[in-house]
Chain A
């Protein structure tokens, strides 16, 4: 007895079938446009990024300093409490060296790979990380546990976006 008889359908097409028009297909391209409101907490987060600072919010019940800031603590399920500035330095919790772009296309030959990382921000609760990118570093020198510092865009170029921080670069405390 075998399950083979209960597997049916799933007729595979090849690239040729499509490209040479051996099968019909319909194409469409949706252009979805949105205008997202930032909300109470992220509005302030972005405003401070524009000022070259990172702001967090505390929960006085679980005593977390949360970044990105949020208007309610999702653990205690109560309104969060105080606005707290945190550092623009941190520690690399994990990283990757990416040769694929967001749409799965490949970076061009010679182009620097994307260097995403989770960075635990100094002054926030332990383990509170944000995703960002690393820069000014040879990919082979990146280590988990490495200290990094934000490299900001010049003030006049900041728009109130997470990309107001260009990237984080290795940093030695003096």
Chain B
């Protein structure tokens, strides 16, 4: 496999409801990514595209529908979709295109427009459950993530307040991100006093529904070195899928995340991830998920993560800054685009271009992860400067 670099990144603002169409959002992010590295579409050899359920748009050939906005005209273009994990999975998909030697440049574009779905995108998640054994009970994702969170808390004696600390941290950090859909700081009391949606999940423990797009440009080593002094290398990739019988495995630990992480670390030559990784962008659609994933990523010992969080270990100036972007909780959660936003964040952080969010001390190695479907898939990418 050849070395692959990220050489450019761009994204739209994340907003609750965008005026732009999915195609227009894709264009904005793609153009911004191309501009960031001074390339034009004719310099791009192929397109890797990620977007989550077709049902949000009601256009059931979403990849092809969006392709024009992703720069896909007259090029080898391919879409991936693994639920919430799509945003991080898409760069793995793009990485293969270049690492294989088939292409020297690849655009990776992720888009989501959730506001199309009426009255609320959450209702469409009913259709991801088994039609006979589960759907008749009328579940949604808030329910099952509440089940997972409750099990996780009970297993280690974590409290609702412990879990709410993540939302406070990420939401306030997100205010520094120019693409964030939020304007106001929050306190622990705000989180704990927000509406109880599905105990132990309150409304502000959950990332918002959003519209947005994000994109990066990948290049082979030869091309990357010609175009930039600061390539950010894709050092390792990994992904793993657990069974869709989600009730038949214990939810307190995301085993599949560990499998994906070990695959990525092995490729990156990382033996002690908690010592070697400088920045972590674990997937945080709900506050507890960031901690759950830090354990699955082997970046925090199981059952000790809250203590480390409280001790400031995951602060911007801590040993292992977590979600410097602000994460999905702080920036917004347009599903596939949110995962790609984490990739953009590592790119900017590792180049020292993250502005007021910049993690101090010249971080060299970062990990991004996303998670999806019936609490069963994780995609992990290690990036290094």
Contact indicator B248/A3 (Cβ below 8 Å): no
Of the listed residues B126, B133, B134, B211, the one surrounded by the most CB atoms of chain A closer than 10 A to its CB is: B133
User: Which residue in B14, B29, B136, B199 is a CB contact (below 8 Å) of A161?
Assistant: B136
Q: Determine whether B28 belongs to the interface, using a CB cutoff of 8 Å to chain A.
A: yes
How far is it, in angstroms, between the C-alpha of A126 and the C-alpha of B297 when the chains are bound? Answer: 26
How far is it, in angstroms, between the C-alpha of A127 and the C-alpha of B251 when the chains are bound? Answer: 10
Given the contacts A1-B352, A101-B138, A131-B247, A38 and B10 also touching, CB distance less than 8 Å:
no
> Which residues of A lie under 8 Å from residue B181 when comparing CB positions?
12
Contact indicator A3/B355 (Cβ below 8 Å): yes
- B217 CB to nearest chain A CB (Å): 11
> Which residues of A lie under 8 Å from residue B198 when comparing CB positions?
96-100
Q: Determine whether B316 belongs to the interface, using a CB cutoff of 8 Å to chain A.
A: no
Q: Determine whether B35 belongs to the interface, using a CB cutoff of 8 Å to chain A.
A: yes
- A159 CB to nearest chain B CB (Å): 10
Q: Determine whether B19 belongs to the interface, using a CB cutoff of 8 Å to chain A.
A: yes
Tell me which residues from 138 to 165 in chain A have a Cβ below 8 Å from any Cβ of chain B: 139, 144, 161-163
User: Which residue in A2, A100, A101, A102 is a CB contact (below 8 Å) of B353?
Assistant: A2
Contact indicator A7/B131 (Cβ below 8 Å): no
Given the contacts A6-B35, A36-B132, A131 and B25 also touching, CB distance less than 8 Å:
no
> Which residues of A lie under 8 Å from residue B126 when comparing CB positions?
102-103
Tell me which residues from 77 to 114 in chain A have a Cβ below 8 Å from any Cβ of chain B: 93-105, 114
> Which residues of B lie under 8 Å from residue A34 when comparing CB positions?
131
Per-position binary interface string of chain B over residues 318-343, scored 1 when its CB falls under 8 Å from any chain A CB and 0 otherwise:
00000000000000000000000000
Q: Determine whether A23 belongs to the interface, using a CB cutoff of 8 Å to chain B.
A: yes
Given the contacts A2-B355, A102-B140, A104-B120, A10 and B154 also touching, CB distance less than 8 Å:
no
How far is it, in angstroms, between the C-alpha of A97 and the C-alpha of B146 when the chains are bound? Answer: 8
Q: How large is the interface on B (under 10, 10 to 19, 20 to 34, 35 or more residues)?
A: 35 or more
Q: Determine whether B313 belongs to the interface, using a CB cutoff of 8 Å to chain A.
A: no
Contact indicator A36/B178 (Cβ below 8 Å): no
How far is it, in angstroms, between the C-alpha of A133 and the C-alpha of B250 when the chains are bound? Answer: 18
How far is it, in angstroms, between the C-alpha of A116 and the C-alpha of B31 when the chains are bound? Answer: 45
- B270 CB to nearest chain A CB (Å): 26
- A121 CB to nearest chain B CB (Å): 10
> Which residues of B lie under 8 Å from residue A129 when comparing CB positions?
247-248
Contact indicator B179/A10 (Cβ below 8 Å): yes
Which residue of chain B has its CB nearest to the CB of A94?
B151
Tell me which residues from 1 to 45 in chain A have a Cβ below 8 Å from any Cβ of chain B: 1-4, 6-14, 18, 23, 27-28, 30, 34, 36, 38, 42, 45
- B366 CB to nearest chain A CB (Å): 15
How far is it, in angstroms, between the C-alpha of A4 and the C-alpha of B11 when the chains are bound? Answer: 10
Contact indicator A6/B36 (Cβ below 8 Å): yes
User: Which residue in A3, A4, A10, A99 is a CB contact (below 8 Å) of B25?
Assistant: A10
How far is it, in angstroms, between the C-alpha of A45 and the C-alpha of B32 when the chains are bound? Answer: 54
Which residue of chain B has its CB nearest to the CB of A124?
B248
- B333 CB to nearest chain A CB (Å): 14
How far is it, in angstroms, between the C-alpha of A14 and the C-alpha of B31 when the chains are bound? Answer: 26
Which residue of chain B has its CB nearest to the CB of A164?
B136
Contact indicator A116/B143 (Cβ below 8 Å): yes
Contact indicator B134/A99 (Cβ below 8 Å): no
How far is it, in angstroms, between the C-alpha of A61 and the C-alpha of B62 when the chains are bound? Answer: 42
Which residue of chain A has its CB nearest to the CB of B17?
A13
Contact indicator B122/A104 (Cβ below 8 Å): yes
How far is it, in angstroms, between the C-alpha of A46 and the C-alpha of B133 when the chains are bound? Answer: 9
Q: Determine whether A59 belongs to the interface, using a CB cutoff of 8 Å to chain B.
A: no
Q: Determine whether A117 belongs to the interface, using a CB cutoff of 8 Å to chain B.
A: yes
Which residue of chain A has its CB nearest to the CB of B121?
A104
- A76 CB to nearest chain B CB (Å): 13
Q: Determine whether B276 belongs to the interface, using a CB cutoff of 8 Å to chain A.
A: no
> Which residues of A lie under 8 Å from residue B36 when comparing CB positions?
6
How far is it, in angstroms, between the C-alpha of A67 and the C-alpha of B245 when the chains are bound? Answer: 9
Given the contacts A7-B12, A7-B179, A8-B32, A98 and B148 also touching, CB distance less than 8 Å:
no
Closest 5 interchain pairs by CB?
A9-B28, A10-B13, A10-B12, A103-B123, A12-B15
Besides the contacts A6-B8, A11-B18, A93-B247, what 14 more A-B pairs have beta carbons closer than 8 Å?
Answer: A2-B355, A6-B10, A7-B10, A11-B13, A11-B19, A42-B132, A94-B154, A95-B150, A104-B119, A104-B140, A105-B120, A116-B147, A127-B250, A130-B247
